[in-house]
Amino acid sequence: MIELLSLVAVARVFEVQKGFRSAKPYGSGHIHDTYCVTFDDGDREDRIILQCINTAIFKNPVAVMENIERVTNHLRSRLGRGADIGRRVLQLISTHDGAGWHVDAEGRYWRAYQFIEQARTFDSVNSPKQAFEAAKAFGEFQRLLADLPPPRLHESIPDFHNTAKRFSAFERAVAADESARDEAARDEIAFARARETLAMVLLGAGLPERVTHNDTKLNNVLLDDESGEGLCVIDLDTVMPGLAAYDFGDMVRTMTCPEAEDERDLSQVAVDFELFDAVLRGYLGGAGSFLTAPERGSLIAGAKVIVFEQGIRFLADFLAGDTYYKVNRPEQNLDRCRTQFKLLSSIEQQEDDMTGLLRALA
Ligand code: ADP
Ligand code: GN1
Ligand code: MG
């Protein structure tokens, strides 16, 4: 946690109002340190989102910021001067020197965004309408970026959704047993190993490369307070070349079950078919016609693969001693893994119905 004075000093490097009022940790992301900083010049209150980029995870923050600048500029030009454009696309705030980010004396990378007001994110889903709207926003996001001119975006985290490499990393974590936790996770290790073949399902399918978000969890889209519509896709660090099915998979993972990602009582953790239906309709509606038939046909596989991949990522981090995801209790990553594996079992059970719905809609 950064102390208040340093936060204020960093915020002032950016083009912000005078009159500092407050700075508070904000949101529930697992990766960056995010703050909401409020200024008040007497006439008007203004909020910004100030983020310290996690450079242990994003080792090339300049590449991340270059991607974000290109992506947000493209989205703005595609949306034109439409209504509410200032709230529909993230707007970076420049530094007084005209830069898009700031490196402080300790070498930390900072960026600032205009705070998007009268909208919010949700950590867990509470209705089919909400799932529909969030999925539609991510589908539109892919559609608007389908014609991003070359060059190819930087891979902000190489092999981010290379499930085979994720599986090898998981096996290395089991072998190293850094924190002597293998025993506690015996059942989960066996569950993952029994599904190793899932790791190759998308990689070998010859699907087209797209510009994808790669972290389409529910709390990475702001929903409008008044209309409930998907307003703005956020958390753009992992926007890079990928497969459409990765994004759909992460939507199924986070928008089809109202339970928390780290819920300990697994009895209610399952994919709700009504929510799945809403996610599928929302995503297909938002994406429109750019998806090819093989891409549409890969969506259910995407759900299985991404839920599996997330499960082994949490499990590997638990075994390694919680070095990647933020945790606030010792077994949190194991609990997160368990919910993913329960969701995967639930998808396996409903796969035929899901495929039937996809065929009917696609
Ligand atoms: P992380 O990568 O750590 O998940 P995010 O970029 O998703 O970080 O930001 C964390 C939270 O901050 C989001 O879930 C959202 O609630 C809030 N947030 C981020 N950017 C904005 C913004 N421009 N306006 C309003 N809220 C925002
Ligand atoms: C992280 O940054 P956040 O909390 O939106 C992670 C995602 C995981 C997610 C699991 C860069 O996302 O890949 O799916 O946690 N981001 C990174 O909740 O690893
Ligand atoms: Mg986030």
Same domain? For 133 and 75 the reply is no
Domain contains 122: no
Percentage of the residues of the chain whose pLDDT score is greater than 70? 100
DSSP type of residue 342: H
Angle between helices 332-361 and 273-287 (to 10 degrees): 60
Same domain? For 112 and 183 the reply is no
**pLDDT for res 132:** 99
Is ligand 2 within 6 A of the CB of residue 263?
A: no
Is ligand 2 within 6 A of the CB of residue 54?
A: no
Residue range 347-362: mean pLDDT, rounded: 97
Same domain? For 215 and 307 the reply is yes
Query: How many structural domains comprise the chain?
Result: 2
**Final residue of a structural domain among 117, 147, 177:** 117
> Ligand 1, atom 12: nearest CA belongs to which residue?
27
Same domain? For 151 and 112 the reply is no
Ligand nearest to the CA of 312: 2
Domain contains 142: yes
Percentage of the residues of the chain whose pLDDT score is greater than 90? 94
Same domain? For 147 and 83 the reply is no
Which pLDDT tens digit goes with each residue over 190-233?
999 999 999 999 998 999 999 999 999 999 999 999 999 999 99
Task: Give yes or no for a contact between 256 and 276, defined as CB atoms under 8 angstroms apart.
Answer: yes
Task: Give yes or no for a contact between 230 and 290, defined as CB atoms under 8 angstroms apart.
Answer: no
Three-class DSSP category at 242: strand
Residue 314's CATH number: 3.90.1200.10
Domain contains 355: yes
The CA 329 to ligand 3 mean position distance, Å, reads 20
Burial of residue 214, with CB atoms counted within 10 A of its CB: 0-12 exposed, 13-18 middle, 19 or more buried: buried
Residue 18's CATH number: 3.30.200.20
> Ligand 1, atom 7: nearest CA belongs to which residue?
235
Note the pTM of the prediction, 2 decimals. Answer: 0.97
Domain range enclosing 21 = 4-117
**pLDDT for res 1:** 65
Same domain? For 148 and 266 the reply is yes
Place of tokens 């926007």: 239
Domain contains 48: yes
Instruction: Tell me: pLDDT of 114 over 70.
Output: yes
Residue range 42-62: mean pLDDT, rounded: 95
Same domain? For 264 and 191 the reply is yes
Same domain? For 186 and 81 the reply is no
Residues facing residue 138 across a β-bridge: none
The CA 30 to ligand 2 mean position distance, Å, reads 6
> Ligand 2, atom 1: nearest CA belongs to which residue?
30
Ligand 2 pocket test: which of 26, 215, 318, 333 has the largest number of ligand atoms within 8 Å of its C-beta? Answer: 215
Domain contains 47: yes
The ligand 2 atom nearest the CA atom of 235: 5
Rounded CA separation 49/46 (Å): 10
Backbone phi, psi, residue 133, to 5°: -65, -40
Residue range 10-18: mean pLDDT, rounded: 94
Rounded CA separation 218/279 (Å): 11
Domain contains 227: yes
**Final residue of a structural domain among 90, 117, 144:** 117
Residue 242 CA: distances (Å) to CA of 144, 292, 296: 15, 15, 15
Task: Give yes or no for a contact between 216 and 247, defined as CB atoms under 8 angstroms apart.
Answer: yes
Q: What's the pLDDT band for 362 if we cut at 50, 70, 90?
A: confident
Same domain? For 148 and 281 the reply is yes
Instruction: Tell me: pLDDT of 4 over 90.
Output: no
**pLDDT for res 24:** 95
Q: Which two tokens stand for residue 130?
A: 């909400």
Ligand nearest to the CA of 117: 1
Is ligand 2 within 6 A of the CB of residue 277?
A: no
Task: Give yes or no for a contact between 334 and 318, defined as CB atoms under 8 angstroms apart.
Answer: yes
